Amino acid sequence: MKKLSCFVVLIIAAIFLTSCGSTLNKSTKVINMVMEDHESNAYEFPAGVYYAYQFQGDQPAYGFDEELIIEQLVSKGIPVKNLWYKAASSSCVPPGSDMAMTVMVEAVLLVQLKEADDQLLQMQFARTTTPTMGSCAYRVKKFIFQPR
């Protein structure tokens, strides 16, 4: 009888662990990060639903951790397709130039989904129909996601 109850407990534990694993596999993960230049040539964002992160206050977001936002999106199971991030800066250096233009470059974080998801509205995002990376978008990080 003791062996049978241990066997039943093992089967229940295996079913529980298997069901947890399948839930985790439905989330997304970053599969690649590339640098893009959105300033030198016209950039076409792919079709989809876009949300822009709303940075707080008038100060530029120096030292902002985009990886933390990515972790939050993934942990919530939000099906992100792509995420673009341009860091805040107090200067702009075009590619091939040795001269830095003194200008306040605003941080931009843009998320692309296939369908709308109101969870982003509770994470300091606002839906946008005109995705843009703003000025001095020579060095934009693009994170490409894929379903697990």
44-57 confidence digits (pLDDT tens) = 999 999 999 998 87
> What was the pLDDT predicted at 132?
96
Cβ of 133: how many Cβ atoms within 10 Å? Answer: 23
Residue 20: is its pLDDT beyond 60?
no
Are 109 and 52 spatial neighbours (Cβ–Cβ below 8 Å)?
yes
Using the structure block, give the residue that is written with the tokens 């296939």. 114
Q: Which residues of 105-132 are buried (b: 16+ CB within 10 A; e: fewer)?
A: bbbbbbbbbeeebeebeeeebeeeeebe
Share of the chain above pLDDT 70, in %: 75
C-alpha 38/C-alpha 138 separation (Å) is: 6
For 79, the domain range is 28-147
Number of domains comprising the chain: 1
Q: Would residue 135 count as lying in a domain?
A: yes
Is residue 61 in a domain? yes
Q: Is there a domain that residue 91 lies in?
A: yes
pTM, entire model: 0.76
CB within 8 Å of 93: residues ≥ 6 apart: 99, 100, 101, 138
